[in-house]
Structure 1
């Protein structure tokens, strides 16, 4: 139902029309009628998006492009008679698929444990009696009761309200609670109608009675959830890139295989069956069987590291996507800020005081010129603190958990005043005994003030008033300065107005404090009208407050800027507050353009695309508009991460390349739409997650370089065999090629997936969408540097063994002990040069010694396994025949173990030569 129709049906001042439209009354429904409506409208619950069946979730891990290629390769291997090869390839696929499924299931279970959305019970009136019912059983037409702290279970129209304020930040992103009354006022922005309350929001203060007109998916909460669920999930860039890489490698592998098949038949005169096995060996050699396990392991390690940094990843590929993020669309309230109103300054006509410490914790003090003050020491401060605490209906209960948030029973505004008073040394309960409250004139949205009346002494009452500055100052005709009361002059009034304007320009919200003392003999408290109580007041001063930035946000923003990541604030808060916070934390400069929701509606797509290229902030935006911002950024070619905690953030979270929801304060809908959930609601955790994401992508490239290097060394012997038309016997057999791919290379390659991020990873710009995994740099490094060196050394080892046995006088051996020793040395040389290569691939520019030669234990475990496996293949009789190996001489082992040392030092010289100047900068 659109807002216009809602206003026509439910928001008017005539409550009888509401009862008529809903076929209900002030006494609610009968139990029988409620049961009928429950059957008709369904439960009052937000339906989750339809989840894939467990079987679909399970099998999707086995049908990626790379997985399908491995299934086909394994089948071909089996049909060609190499059963062991086929089984080995299939086992790689099976293990990788099971691991991916297990990791994503674990993330889902952890996310489900965070979900806690609607209240369990609601106090309704049925059959003319109050009764508690499950909130899921609430139906349109039900009348229910509310008090401070209650979550609102349905979209409803207020029947009665007393000092009610509602926190609607889950819907709007607005940190300041909305005042709610039975009188209609359209308010400013979405969901601002004064007599309507919405599902998923919370009563901050006061009490009320309301009638539900929409439940479940028909609520605004449900409507936005439905919008989110209809939005298809964006395929991750990593998935697209892996598919592209798989196709590239498949073309290379098949093309190479075809060439080898033709050459083997026509030049070497091999029979088709034998030539096919040779070609198959080449195809398998160029298919990186370890790619999927390495990618999965890299992502899983990133997931575990991020979990330790309070970021719960729901989908493995989300880790890498974060690494290439170019723009973060961030909510303000609760994400960049603490979602805790905090007093910053106290102003009296004589002094400005600084209030230290953040949030709802009594961990600060009130200072004047850096000197701590107690409220008794200054008469003006004394009176202002007294008004702040006594004219207050909120209670702050300390957390029972160490380090946990205090429980606020009331509004954030009043909570900040209570904490400010505590920092001044004011003990409310003791003072209330001395000055007991006799009456309250509650806050309302018309006059924007609240007044309490207390017994002052035996002959007098004191009337304490707090409220919006502009609405309170006009009720004051006196002013207190240094404890003395005098008439307020125009100069006094103008000065106070200027101070208030200066605070407003800084994004601070002001609350004015005033009072007066009246004679008891002349005053009947019970008959005192609002006009009488709130006239001829004595102005004392102002308190200024805001929702402060998180302490860690400053460094997080700085690191994002260093990483060339743009942050755009998209909030439901006012333009002034949004810009003030953005400038304060270094998000933007003062020149940033602030675009309101209304302005955004009037902008063309071209104008929005242009605006997004500069410094920009979005304020007072609706959910659909935040979604539009994210969508337009993507159309501009950006990789977008969107953060948020409210249901209003969910559509944008789902549309974004990476959605990041808050775990502690986030709604169920937001978590369901997100890829990542921050368990500590800390924006700084996003920066750590981005670093992990970049490390993952870098590690995949390192693995690719390493694996292509061995492919070159594996192919080179076969090329010699073909180009010599068989005169050079095959220096490396098909089974030996498979030994490298599935045996000796696998674990060191997997170790690269666990490599920590390079020191400069967060000082580089995000990779461009047009930049692919397989780049010219990787190809040149793998083929023309590492691969060429490995090929020369391994072929050199082959000819050296033959040289020791009479070559070139004696023809190259094609069988027998000399041939087996020569091929064994080729296999060993490739394995030991790969030891050097895996160490070299650990860093791109920085010295591996600077990073720590032994800092990645997984690689060294892989190297040890690689050497032991080679040893087993050379000394085990049954395996010697299968893999065409034999025992090596002591001098052979010495040569092999010495091989990695010069290769590592040579690559260190290359890195120093090309990159040391850049690192000095």
Structure 2
């Protein structure tokens, strides 16, 4: 229901009623139906109720204007909420893994600092502090990255800053800031303007608006009075393609349609699939560590008291100290079980990927979306401005003869004597002009058709400004919907005049009696020639080209009635016909092919008609022979079950509304798909917001689209989404590589510590400080090494993993458990037979369970991890673990730095690290034992295990499946 406002004498007081007189306590809104406007007396009645005037506008009374601004609001949208660094840090610390680490660190500090629970209170606190230090690093890195992203986004939004507009106030035309527009103002609109408020048409000349950014409809909307069959309502955020006139402002700022859409997009975001999986993993690891600790207590404490009973030792207060040590050992196992390096590995991988993506023109607003894109299973793409350039261009024509491609050589295919006629006719018979657009670029502004024609004549080396300034234009005949043509009369001199006409090709052709042949000579328009042009027009129309006919004729003054509203448009000479289309971005077909190669389905969702959408989809490679195309009205009538059945083959959704696109995304998400959405218009906002990851165009995208998206394509290049897919998959792989490496360490360390405590003298062969080195320092360096591998094209040669695919795949479990079993065998052999083995090999007299013996066990454990780190560079069944290794020099540097630190740790640690200096031979044995991880990894990858990834394709050779439940869908 439309809302109007009835004021009392004081502007500051008002009562709000709807048309039926019901109290609504709301601000003025744009009438949704022209009939509602007529019900209140049209624009004049609306102006009266707003205490304004259609001719004089508002009065220049400062108090009244200020009161009106308070009543109806200002034409300003509040800045997007920007979280403080403290708030971001607080949110970061809600991560489950970090919470577990903080709890473990606090307990470790307390127990390590107390005399009765720590062997050395002076150093017992070090482990807990080191864990907290790791948590602090992760929190700071993540928070600073997210904080910087907010600032980058605000910088991007400055492109839509303050600008000047023309209004009528107190009967005078004046220029004010767009932020100072008020309800009731009479706003002047002109060609190229962005409508900055909602409003109602007052008067004007040939106003046509492009409302595709709001409605998705590519057809221009003519503005005028409803009684004349035109649309009287202006929508904020749309563009005036041509014409000029005045409108009455009815809603500003957050109350306008564009403002409401923007404000509705400021909602909380849901967790990404990776965040959900990492949360589940943290729970499982916590339970694993807690289970091992409980098992230790259940075994060791009864064993301790049984041993006291067997040895007939009385229970004294010293027993409390022994029990406390056992509890501390159990807590240590929990700490060891938690992968301290995992949060840092995730943060490093995301931050590194985000930085690299920014350098490749992908501005990532939400850091987690870097990884999410890698798991995308389907992309719902807008057409206009995303797959196409959103710039109408002459792509074919028939002038003197047919030309199917337009390039810099086109003028050589047209007889030279026609060049001046073509150039003058297009440049003079046009309202478009060159200026600075809202994006800050110099381009043609006006009707998309006229802009396309002006760009076409540039290929002839023409300057439209020079031609217009040197020509004597006598009269303009504007375009109307009934005439479907426009014309301009130019005085040539010596009493001669020339009329240039352009318009609907079939109408222009019907008014021509002559034409130019292949040599540029004028010939009579016979049936054969007319049939050739008609066939060309039909062919262009079938190919979804917009056809424009060009004609001219020369007259003397006696043949012209300058007072007539219509031009003398009979017996014209047909110059020819040109075909105009919004061309496909050159990178799109290859990018779509790459997505298909990667198993990602691309769907086109557009407001255009079905025929145009199908044609563009075929040229892009989106629509296959067995694909399904639907129109919005039909899609709206379908039930969810019907949509689910058609989804596997749905490739084009034409004439769709913003809600249709949003519903499609919703159904895909319900089906278990990871959905990416691309768009540049306001109408794409709801779908961009709902998708797992939304891509907007940074150059041509509207403020709404950019605000709703996760990633902004700064170069508007569709191929940049392929780079985002590569980086996303690479980031996910980097995290999985680290998990493969980290979990092997954790399994071995927990079991060795558990068994050592149970079977030995109550102490683990790996001391707390040694475990600290392995779990913190080494893992932190490994996180940097494994998280900074650059992507490679091979990442596109596999299907998407799907939302429900496990974080740890079958092949990862194979390698983790295989390496862990081997390392446990080595550790237990060295623990129980190591001293004897070393003495036999080296001819030494190493005591069993001594410091040297345990140093060898620890050193071997570290080198097993170092060489397994090289194994962890590869996921799956790839046999070449050194492939692309030199593409990441940081990995090589960190690997050798880790060895250097280990040498210092063992050689100079002494009592603090519970190590002794080893001989060269002993170092050699440790290294050779660690090297055995490499051939073992090779043998493990020979075991044929196939990951349960869902192979999907939209091609006719295969039946498309969905990751959540393939039985839910049937082939269409």
Q: Judge same fold: TM > 0.5, yes or no.
A: yes
- Mapped contact 1:797–1:829 kept (Cα < 8 A): no
User: Aligned partners of 2:59 and 2:484: how far apart in 1?
Assistant: 38
| Aligned residue in 2 for 1:418 | 454
| Aligned residue in 2 for 1:735 | 769
| Aligned residue in 2 for 1:377 | 416
Q: Where does 1:490-889 land on structure 2 (aligned, <5 Å)?
A: 492-525=529-562, 527-530=563-566, 532-589=567-624, 592-721=627-756, 725-726=759-760, 730-757=764-791, 759-783=793-817, 785-798=818-831, 799-804=833-838, 819-844=850-875, 845-848=877-880, 851-876=883-908, 879-889=909-919
User: Aligned partners of 1:729 and 1:758: how far apart in 2?
Assistant: 47
Q: Does 1:90 align with 2:132?
A: yes
Deviations 1:489-539 (A, max 9, x none): 5655554333222212212111111222222133243x1321x43344333
What is the deviation of 1:53?
5.0
What is the deviation of 1:40?
0.2
User: Aligned partners of 1:80 and 1:541: how far apart in 2?
Assistant: 91
- Mapped contact 1:332–1:571 kept (Cα < 8 A): yes
Select 1:255's aligned residue among 286, 291, 300: 291
Summarize the Cα distance change of 1:619–1:50 in structure 2 as closer, same or farther, 3 Å threshold.
Answer: same
Q: Where does 1:269-308 land on structure 2 (aligned, <5 Å)?
A: 271-308=322-359
- Mapped contact 1:744–1:865 kept (Cα < 8 A): no
Most deviating of 513-522 and 239-248: 513-522
Most deviating of 615-624 and 646-655: 615-624
Unaligned runs of 5+ in 1: 187-192, 358-363, 917-921
Summarize the Cα distance change of 1:854–1:280 in structure 2 as closer, same or farther, 3 Å threshold.
Answer: farther
User: Aligned partners of 1:556 and 1:479: how far apart in 2?
Assistant: 43
- Mapped contact 1:330–1:642 kept (Cα < 8 A): yes
Q: Where does 1:403-482 land on structure 2 (aligned, <5 Å)?
A: 406-428=442-464, 431-432=467-468, 435-482=471-518
Q: Does 1:321 align with 2:353?
A: no
- Mapped contact 1:376–1:382 kept (Cα < 8 A): no
Select 1:220's aligned residue among 251, 257, 275: 257
Summarize the Cα distance change of 1:447–1:194 in structure 2 as closer, same or farther, 3 Å threshold.
Answer: farther
Deviations 1:551-583 (A, max 9, x none): 111211111111111111112223222222111
Q: Could you say what the CA RMSD is over the residues aligned between the two structures, in angstroms?
A: 3.1
User: Aligned partners of 2:333 and 2:228: how far apart in 1?
Assistant: 76
Q: How many residues align?
A: 884
Deviations 1:820-865 (A, max 9, x none): 1111111111111111111111112434465234432332333233
What is the deviation of 1:760?
2.5
Q: Does 1:39 align with 2:70?
A: yes
Aligned residue for 2:277, secondary structure, equals: helix
Aligned residue for 2:874, secondary structure, equals: coil
- Mapped contact 2:874–2:881 kept (Cα < 8 A): no
Select 1:394's aligned residue among 432, 445, 449: 432
What is the deviation of 1:866?
2.4
User: Aligned partners of 1:561 and 1:601: how far apart in 2?
Assistant: 28
User: Aligned partners of 1:770 and 1:428: how far apart in 2?
Assistant: 59
Aligned residue for 2:196, secondary structure, equals: coil
User: Aligned partners of 1:857 and 1:667: how far apart in 2?
Assistant: 41
Select 2:151's aligned residue among 96, 99, 109: 109
Select 1:891's aligned residue among 907, 913, 921: 921
User: Aligned partners of 2:493 and 2:744: how far apart in 1?
Assistant: 91
| Aligned residue in 2 for 1:361 | none
User: Aligned partners of 1:596 and 1:118: how far apart in 2?
Assistant: 37
Summarize the Cα distance change of 1:313–1:469 in structure 2 as closer, same or farther, 3 Å threshold.
Answer: same
- Mapped contact 1:119–1:151 kept (Cα < 8 A): no
User: Aligned partners of 1:204 and 1:685: how far apart in 2?
Assistant: 30
User: Aligned partners of 2:882 and 2:781: how far apart in 1?
Assistant: 24
Deviations 1:319-367 (A, max 9, x none): 111111111111111111112111111114x52124434xxxxxx2317
Select 1:19's aligned residue among 33, 43, 47: 47
Most deviating of 907-916 and 539-548: 907-916
What is the deviation of 1:641?
0.9
User: Aligned partners of 1:758 and 1:663: how far apart in 2?
Assistant: 26
User: Aligned partners of 1:312 and 1:568: how far apart in 2?
Assistant: 23
- Mapped contact 1:181–1:444 kept (Cα < 8 A): no
User: Aligned partners of 2:942 and 2:95: how far apart in 1?
Assistant: 40
Summarize the Cα distance change of 1:118–1:730 in structure 2 as closer, same or farther, 3 Å threshold.
Answer: closer
Select 1:309's aligned residue among 325, 341, 360: 360
- Mapped contact 2:85–2:143 kept (Cα < 8 A): no
- Mapped contact 2:810–2:945 kept (Cα < 8 A): no
| Aligned residue in 1 for 2:197 | 154
Aligned residue for 1:346, secondary structure, equals: strand
Q: Does 1:352 align with 2:421?
A: no
User: Aligned partners of 1:398 and 1:29: how far apart in 2?
Assistant: 30
User: Aligned partners of 1:562 and 1:443: how far apart in 2?
Assistant: 48
What is the deviation of 1:738?
2.4
What is the deviation of 1:426?
4.1
- Mapped contact 1:337–1:548 kept (Cα < 8 A): yes
| Aligned residue in 2 for 1:919 | none
- Mapped contact 2:864–2:931 kept (Cα < 8 A): no
Aligned residue for 1:766, secondary structure, equals: coil
After TM superposition, the score normalised by the length of structure 1 is: 0.90
Deviations 1:70-93 (A, max 9, x none): 111111212322311111111111
User: Aligned partners of 2:513 and 2:183: how far apart in 1?
Assistant: 50
Deviations 1:386-425 (A, max 9, x none): 42233122234699x9xx9542232332122122112134
Summarize the Cα distance change of 1:424–1:133 in structure 2 as closer, same or farther, 3 Å threshold.
Answer: closer
Most deviating of 262-271 and 887-896: 262-271
Aligned residue for 2:363, secondary structure, equals: strand
- Mapped contact 2:473–2:488 kept (Cα < 8 A): yes
User: Aligned partners of 1:714 and 1:408: how far apart in 2?
Assistant: 68
| Aligned residue in 1 for 2:955 | none
User: Aligned partners of 1:828 and 1:713: how far apart in 2?
Assistant: 14
User: Aligned partners of 2:844 and 2:461: how far apart in 1?
Assistant: 101
Aligned residue for 1:408, secondary structure, equals: strand
Q: Where does 1:483-494 land on structure 2 (aligned, <5 Å)?
A: 483=520, 488=525, 492-494=529-531
What is the deviation of 1:301?
0.8
- Mapped contact 2:855–2:916 kept (Cα < 8 A): yes
Deviations 1:36-81 (A, max 9, x none): 3211011112345555455322210112111111111111212322
User: Aligned partners of 1:749 and 1:352: how far apart in 2?
Assistant: 62
After TM superposition, the score normalised by the length of structure 2 is: 0.85
User: Aligned partners of 1:599 and 1:755: how far apart in 2?
Assistant: 47
Summarize the Cα distance change of 1:490–1:214 in structure 2 as closer, same or farther, 3 Å threshold.
Answer: farther
- Mapped contact 1:119–1:153 kept (Cα < 8 A): no
Unaligned runs of 5+ in 2: 3-29, 113-123, 308-318, 947-972
What is the deviation of 1:707?
0.8
